[in-house]
């Protein structure tokens, strides 16, 4: 019975996942497989903007018969958030990989983009406890110093990844800071 469980888990992970390249303490360097993402830009405080983005993604995916990638195995974030400017946020949601075959036939919306990317490397650091701007800044600085120590080059601004959990308590859900890097 265990073999079946691992086989199913491996199928989910192969959909879109990452390979752990290096791990040290709270830091990880990961190589993500090719993937398709939906990007939504929203304004407002983080919580309100996230709620609006979740509503939009749900309606958009249903209308275009698309599915989000499964995130139960904790390999994929439920949502990736990036502050753009004051009260403006970018939210990214992974799609199942077969969705890239359908993206030519989907409805185009001005505030929703489909992005495909090849393999990417991300440096990450865990973000335990509650969200606070101070904690995000502190962890981002720690991650940037680790990236410099590892002689990696930063490709883009930091993002916050939230993972779905069985429990719905904000202080125990898995969160991390992710920065795309080059080797």
Q: Which domains does the chain have, with CATH numbers?
A: 18-33+119-183 (no CATH), 35-117 (3.30.70)
Percentage of the chain modeled with pLDDT above 90 = 42
Per-residue model confidence as pLDDT tens digits over 24-63 = 999 999 998 888 888 999 999 988 999 999 999 888 888 8
Q: What are the start-end ranges of the E strands in the chain? A: 18-24, 27-32, 35-43, 79-85, 88-95, 112-117, 120-126, 153-154, 159-162, 175-182
Lowest mean pLDDT among 16-25, 40-49, 77-86: 16-25
Asked if residue 165 has pLDDT above 70, the reply is: no
Asked if residue 10 has pLDDT above 90, the reply is: no
Per-residue model confidence as pLDDT tens digits over 116-156 = 888 999 999 998 877 788 999 999 999 999 999 999 999 99
Once rounded to an integer, what is the mean pLDDT over residues 68-72?
Answer: 67
Give the per-residue pLDDT at 107: 54
**Whole-number Å distance between alpha carbons of 121 and 12:** 20
Give the per-residue pLDDT at 172: 66
Residues in the chain: 183
């Amino acid at each position: 019975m265990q073999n079946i469980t691992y086989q199913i888990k491996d199928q989910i992970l192969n959909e879109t996942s990452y390979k752990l390249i290096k791990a040290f303490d709270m830091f990880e360097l990961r190589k993500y497989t090719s993937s398709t993402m939906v990007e939504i830009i929203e304004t407002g405080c983080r919580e309100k903007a996230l709620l609006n983005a979740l509503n939009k993604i749900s309606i958009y995916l249903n209308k275009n018969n698309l599915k989000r990638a499964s995130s139960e195995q904790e390999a994929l974030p439920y949502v990736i958030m990036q502050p753009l400017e004051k009260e403006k946020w970018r939210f990214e949601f992974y799609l199942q990989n077969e969705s890239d075959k359908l993206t030519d036939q989907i409805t185009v919306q001005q505030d929703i983009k489909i992005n495909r990317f090849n393999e990417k490397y991300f440096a990450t650091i865990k973000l335990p406890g509650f969200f606070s701007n101070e904690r995000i800044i502190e962890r981002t600085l720690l991650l940037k110093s680790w990236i410099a120590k590892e002689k990696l080059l930063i490709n883009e601004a930091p993002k916050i990844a939230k993972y779905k959990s069985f429990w719905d308590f904000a202080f125990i859900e898995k969160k991390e800071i992710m920065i795309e890097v080059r080797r």
